[in-house]
Amino acid sequence: MRTAATRAFSTSTANRTKVAVLGAAGGIGQPLSLLLKQSPLITHLSLYDIVNTPGVAADLSHINTSSKASKHIGIYVTGHLPKDGGLEEALKDAGVVVIPAGVPRKPGMTRDDLFNTNAGIVRDLATACAKTCPEAKILIIANPVNSTVPIVSEVFKQHNVYDPKRIFGVTTLDVVRASRFVSEVAGGRPEEIKITVVGGHSGATIVPLFSQTQGIKSLSKEQLDELTHRVQYGGDEVVKAKDGLGSATLSMAFAGARFTESVLRAAAGEKGVVEPTFVRSSLFEKEGVEYFSSNVELSPEGVGKIHPLGNLTPYEEELVSVAVSQLKGNITKGVQFVSESQ
């Protein structure tokens, strides 16, 4: 977690932040909190779940990570359960809220099958955020991301605190997978291979743009088909291997910690921090799609510059058009859910 950049920015205590993790005792929440406990950019790690959080918090609070910049005050960890206003306490003064709360898939399910359970969980947590920490950056991991991001946005609109720059769908795992899978086929160090992945976060809405990465343009059509399918359905590989015990947790914690750290680095003033993320975007607005994932330069306010997709091959253009048509339905479903629950 400690890159040269984070070391440079960790010298200022002014920019250090309270980060709340909602769903902190879950499969993603626990390893994500462990990774975040190592960030020099966090002063207070606030953990909330409907079960088991005090234990997770007590355990993490024994880790001797501390920042010299804060005069040896380590990251302060607290754990909250719903009783006695625990959620409000967890969110009070948070600068960043990460939401992995919600149920994961079992074999045979799509991410959209999680909507009925997770939409209500995310709506209620977003309501608490809109009331308690309306200026926090909200990082949404809970699936289906293509619908939960519009849900959070609609809730914030209802409370008149909506700023599209501060609401992010976490799609980092798609680029983490893409670079790993490409390295297995084409060689190279996966951590150095950058693949642009755009669209959304489920099946055919996930579109890797392999043509934009130098050195792998010579993939055969068969390799391209296989790699594209593997990135689009990488989540299914894990769901199948876990055989009823959930979906990706450890790789997601890695990806979620990377994205959170990037948001914090940009908030601390670092320039040139670019991550893919599913945000309010004008890229496909004309086609009626208000949210889209693409590379975004992060800024102190949150979303900075949304990068255009760049040159696409006809193969990629076709994938993007399928993604756009599916996203429309996913987004509408989230928006309608909030308007119908009023």
Ligand X SMILES: NC(=O)C1=CN([C@@H]2O[C@H](COP(=O)(O)OP(=O)(O)OC[C@H]3O[C@@H](n4cnc5c(N)ncnc54)[C@H](O)[C@@H]3O)[C@@H](O)[C@H]2O)C=CC1
Catalytic residue of the set 44, 80, 201, 229: 201
Q: Does 170 bind ligand OAA (CB under 6 A)?
A: no
User: Which residue matches tokens 């629950």?
Assistant: 341
Site map (CB under 6 A) of ligand OAA, residues 221-240, x = contact: --------------x--xx-
- Kind of pairing, strands 291-299 and 302-306? antiparallel
Residues in region 135-174 near ligand X by CB under 6 A:
141-143, 145, 170, 173
DSSP 3-state helix, strand, coil percentages of the chain (rounded to 5)? 50, 20, 35
Q: Does 247 bind ligand OAA (CB under 6 A)?
A: yes
Write out the E strands in the chain. Answer: 17-22, 42-48, 76-80, 96-99, 137-140, 167-169, 196-199, 206-209, 274-280, 291-299, 302-306
Q: Does 173 bind ligand OAA (CB under 6 A)?
A: yes
- Taking CA 335 as the corner, what is the angle to CA 332 and CA 341, rounded to the nearest 5 degrees? 130
CB of 170 to ligand OAA, least distance (A): 9
- Taking CA 68 as the corner, what is the angle to CA 65 and CA 72, rounded to the nearest 5 degrees? 70
Q: Is 23 annotated as a binding residue?
A: yes
Question: Which tokens sit at 296?
Answer: 């975004």
Distance separating alpha carbons of residues 229 and 219, to the nearest angstrom:
14
Q: Which member of 111, 166, 258, 280 binds ligand OAA (CB under 6 A)?
A: 111
80 is a catalytic site residue: no
Q: Does 143 bind ligand OAA (CB under 6 A)?
A: yes
Residues in region 259-298 near ligand X by CB under 6 A:
none
Q: Which residues are catalytic?
A: 201
Residues lying near ligand X in the complex (CB under 6 A) are found at: 22-23, 25-29, 48-51, 100-105, 114, 118, 121, 125, 141-143, 145, 170, 173, 201, 246-249, 252
Residues that constitute the known binding site for substrate? 105, 111, 143, 177
